[in-house]
Structure 1
Amino acid sequence: MSAQLAVLKCPVFGDVPEVVPPSHPEDLDYRLTMSLGPLSPGIARAYTRVVLQTYGMRDIVDPAVQVVGELVACAWKFTPDTEAYLSLRYRNSDLEVVLYDGHRRHGHPKLEAACDARRRGALWVLGCVVRACKGEWGFGEAREPGGGTRMWVVLPRWAARGYSEVR
């Protein structure tokens, strides 16, 4: 009982500042490292939704959440039970989404081409969303130490706003 009282009297609770929403979407720059598993796409979608809503970008939540879910699901398919790194940035009126997974490029050209075709097929829905938003997407070798694959999407806000109405 005394341990519970100590927690209730913790002075930290009185020192929590009032949360003020960010005023500029241009300040949006978040990263998340996550374990890849069956819950990862849902967690990444929820994370993206909260970040965008916090920055007052409700108008592009739907396409962004769909894109993030597709990227994370693809990463899980190619590198199950490992980690992935997700980056969300808003620059020059575009939402930039980047995901790194641990799937290294193949040394043999035929294996690499077959693997790329599988990844492109796994990202078919993502491609449809990005086209509807007049954006760009792609994937390739990660330039960071440790290798792996870098998948990226750029969604122009002006075009992504209409995504919910198009569907």
Structure 2
Amino acid sequence: MMEVRSEHISDRPAILELTGRAFATEEGPNPPVEVALLAELFECDGYLPGLSIVAVDAGMVIGHTITTRGFIGDQPALGLGPISVLPEHQRQGIGAALLEETRIRAAGLGESVIVLLGHTSYYPRFGYRPASELGIEAPDPQWGDYFMALPLGVSEVPAGTFRYAEPFTRL
């Protein structure tokens, strides 16, 4: 039975390993850049412990997502990612469970919006839509509709350019 919970520091080696496997490509760097990004996010000012969430099955971490503090102008917002599921456990609803838990927790914290950079064929089914429709500009205009946002309905969504947690600026 899968459990979705906050990550523990002792989960981090497994989280980094699963992230490496989830983002691995034949032509890409080994380990993928997402592994170093994640290690930095765990240590940065934007790290929010309650929004680093794992999916665990039979004692094994099989999925993880992290959402960190970002800003739209000077207003707080959230940036989701990376989100990772072990390749052999993909297409089983684990990513969906992690996204839903993130949404519930973020709304419970009074956050206004979550943004992410991701596949336009996947995230809209969870309520994400092009961030530009909400007046949120991507840090890189070339991202276009791949830069998406989910308003949480708790407070008004600010407009302006989104700024991710510091480690993202080094990608």
Q: TM-score with structure 2 length normalisation? A: 0.28
Q: TM-score with structure 1 length normalisation? A: 0.28
Indicate the structure with greater strand content: 2
Whichever of the two has the greater Rg, that structure is 1
